[in-house]
Amino acid sequence: MVKAFGKKESKRMTCHKKYKIRKKVREHNKKLAKTLKTSVNKKKKKGDGHVPNLAPFKEELLLNALEHTEAKKESKLKNKNKTTMIVSRKSDESKPPKIISQSSISYKSVISQCSTLLWVIDVRSAEECFSEDIYSEIINENKTVIFILNKVDLVPQSVIKYWYSVFSQKAPTYIFKSTQILLSDCEQIIPALKQTLSRFGGVKPLLNNLKNSIKQEITVGIIGTPQVGKACVVSSILKCCGRTRAKNTSATKISDNLKLATVTGKIPTEYKGMLNILQNMNSYMNQPSAVLAALSRCISKEDSMLQFTLPEYSHPEGFLDALSVRYNMVQNKEPDHSAVGRLILKQLRDQKLKFYVQSQKTLSGDTVEIPEDLLGDVSKFLYTGDALRVNSSEINIVMPKKVKKKKSNEMDVDEDEMDEESGEEFEGSEEEFEGSEEECSDESSDEEMN
């Protein structure tokens, strides 16, 4: 047929031609790869330190080189495995040793290297955080002490006034709000909530007083019992000054004559009250009913009814039952004590359930009012509501012992029973054997007669 007018030839390629081109491309790439492998000059292995064979004293040179490399390796290993906190100087024995940056060290090393000390105290349980022996030890070494009442936003204002009047008789005290609050997954999304929680208060009056009263260059150290908020106090002071932690040294310069030791001093203590529950929260989550039973003995009936909005109940035996009814936690038509205990322990951990420990000592004199200069930054964070009052600083938690149940085995039988049963069996078998013998003899006699 004749082609139509103006019709173009198709540009389609036959399959035979297409596959042939692909094959040629693969072969070409293989050839290039082979040539690259052969053309690249491989790095030659270093010989004996590039020492020629004709060189005099070759063996001695090689031995020296080996010793040098081994010494380098040992020095690297030593630097990696270093765990020392203090570096001493042999030449200048009068100067105190420097602290290498770590999270916390012993309070004695901080006392020896710092002239002024900030003692951080948790207002919720101040008696557990303070020690009279350590306070006398600091004063005997001619060191100035400043008390910091931390976590003020978790306690009523009457409690703050009481403890301020107690500690102000011994040394100058300041009020701080520098706590780290745990947020849930939903709350972490909101940026405004993070900003409100990251705020701090009470730092400016402390810094102003230190800068005005100091004439010589001094270092300020921070000490306190565990989980009091020492690291939060350090970070709030640095944020207020617009500084960051120094990398090589533990002391950060805040002003011309003032340095802050970012490594805090830990006072070893064993908590026996509410702070013990907060410190060992993960272990107490396994037995929450025992913790609540011990806590019910340390709180009054009126406070528990007001704080948890409970009806009339028998205190302290019916505390767990009333809480389970209040929060509607029932299992098999019986109150679930463990579920209620976990719920209240979570509220304590997340700082939603506020509490304070009432002091057992009477105050000498009237309560002192806090000056307005100290309440300038903190006044907006103060808590105006009520909190759970704990009457004693010691809570005796009796943890139930786990009883291991022995697996009952049907094969385990007493020896006496086995002997009796075996004897009866043997007696029965003898009688049967005698009867069978008599039957056999009778049958044999009948056969003979036939």
Q: Characterize 409-419 residue by residue with b for buried, 16 or more Cβ atoms within 10 angstroms of its Cβ, and e for exposed.
A: eeeeeeeeeee
Q: 337-349 and 288-296 helices cross at what angle (nearest 10)?
A: 80
Over its C-alpha atoms, the chain yields an Rg (Å, rounded) of: 41
Instruction: In whole angstroms, give the CA distance from residue 229 to residue 248.
Output: 24
**What's residue 291's pLDDT?**
92
Q: Characterize 259-289 residue by residue with b for buried, 16 or more Cβ atoms within 10 angstroms of its Cβ, and e for exposed.
A: bbbbbbbbbeeebebbbbbbeeeeebeebbb
Instruction: In whole angstroms, give the CA distance from residue 152 to residue 155.
Output: 6
Q: Which amino acid makes up residue 109?
A: S
Contacting residues for 95 by C-beta, under 8 A, at least 6 apart: 89
**What's residue 406's pLDDT?**
53
Largest Cα–Cα separation, the chain: 140
Element at 444 (helix H, strand E): helix 415-449
pLDDT along the chain (450 residues), means of 10: 66 92 95 83 55 78 85 82 46 44 76 92 92 92 92 91 92 84 50 54 87 84 92 88 75 86 90 91 90 92 92 91 92 90 92 90 80 83 88 83 53 46 47 49 49
Instruction: In whole angstroms, give the CA distance from residue 339 to residue 310.
Output: 17
**What's residue 304's pLDDT?**
92
Name the DSSP class of 3. P
**What's residue 403's pLDDT?**
53
Residue 147: closest CA among 165, 121, 169, 123: 121
Separation in Å, CA 56 to CA 59, 67, 131: 9, 19, 73
Cα angle, residue 211 at apex, residues 151 and 254 outer, rounded to 5°: 75
Instruction: In whole angstroms, give the CA distance from residue 323 to residue 307.
Output: 11
Locate 432 and state its tokens. 């049967």
Q: What is the DSSP string of 162-226?
A: HHHHHHHTTS-EEE-B-------TTGGG-HHHHHHHT--BSHHHHHHHHHHH--S-EEEEEEE-T
Strands 251-253, 258-261: pairing kind: antiparallel
Instruction: In whole angstroms, give the CA distance from residue 157 to residue 160.
Output: 5
Instruction: In whole angstroms, give the CA distance from residue 117 to residue 109.
Output: 12
Please provide the size of the chain in residues.
Answer: 450
**What's residue 221's pLDDT?**
92
Contacting residues for 62 by C-beta, under 8 A, at least 6 apart: 48, 49, 51
| Contact present, 72 and 82 (Cβ < 8 Å) | no
pTM for the complete prediction? 0.65
